[in-house]
Amino acid sequence: MLKVIAQDFIKPEAVEIVLPLYRELVEKTRQEELCIAYDLCVDQKDPGHFIFIEAWPDRAALDAHCASEHFTRLVPLINAHQRQNATFILMDDLPV
Amino acid sequence: MLKVIAQDFIKPEAVEIVLPLYRELVEKTRQEELCIAYDLCVDQKDPGHFIFIEAWPDRAALDAHCASEHFTRLVPLINAHQRQNATFILMDDLPV
């Protein structure tokens, strides 16, 4: 299983603009057949710091998500309000 | 619910030393009555970058975890092999 932490940094004055876009992105992504988990959190110390915690079966499923209609439509609308570039960590579970 | 991302950065030569310490920390923490989730992942691009993804009912439960025998014993042993300070993000779920 592939896990992902994606972090967005939104300008303070744009938080209310991006919230409905995030909500649609989460709702549509969770309907993807290959989506295992797609949770969106907000940093308690920074209301413009949004953190996705994702789980996918493999890289192909993540790539399909990133090519989906909802992703390619909504993410540029969100990114227009960034104050700095998003970051991404692709992770494996701890080896046992 | 309180979610936490804690990130450790371990010296490359010490990864094999910390792995059994992490495994014991994960096993014992998951036995805590108030632990909702406690997953440990490794950055695919950096085998010394360890990421905890945690969920707790509230801040008091997280504080109790940080005061537990296993935490106060194992974390200093792990931190002795850090290459830089750990980082912590305390998060809320996206408001709906």
Chain A residues lying within 8 Å of B55, measured CB to CB: none
- CB atoms closer than 10 angstroms to residue A67: 9
The C-alpha R_g of chain A, in whole angstroms, comes to 13
Other beta carbons less than 10 A from residue B81's beta carbon: 18
CB A31, CB A73: distance < 8 Å: no
Please answer whether residues B53 and A41 qualify as being in contact, where contact means their C-beta atoms are separated by less than 8 angstroms: no
pLDDT at A96: 61
CA distance to partner chain B, nearest, from residue A19 (Å): 8
Quickly tell me which residue has 């994606």 as its tokens. Answer: A6
Architecture of A9-83 per CATH? 2-Layer Sandwich (3.30)
Which residue from B41, B44, B91 is facing A51, i.e. has the nearest CB?
Answer: B91
Domain B7-90 class, CATH top level: alpha beta
Q: Is any Cβ of chain B less than 8 angstroms from the Cβ of A16?
A: no
R_g over Cα of chain B: 13
ipTM over cut 0.85 = yes
Q: Which of residues A96 and A78 earns the better pLDDT score?
A: A78
Give Dmax (Cα) for chain B: 45
* Domain range annotation of chain B: 7-90
User: What does each C-alpha distance from A79 to A23, A44, A65, A76, B90 come to in angstroms?
Assistant: 15, 21, 17, 5, 23
Q: Where are the beta strands (DSSP E) in chain B?
A: 2-10, 37-43, 49-56, 82-93
* Half-sphere exposure in the Cβ direction for B25 (13 Å, CA): 24
pLDDT value at position A20?
A: 97
Local structure of B19: helix, strand or coil: helix
Question: Which among B41, B93, B96 has the least Cβ separation from residue A41?
Answer: B93
Out of A32-46, A56-70, A75-89, B82-96, which region has the weakest mean confidence (pLDDT)? Answer: B82-96
Does residue A89 sit in helix, strand or coil? strand
B-chain CB neighbours of A40 within 8 Å are 93-94
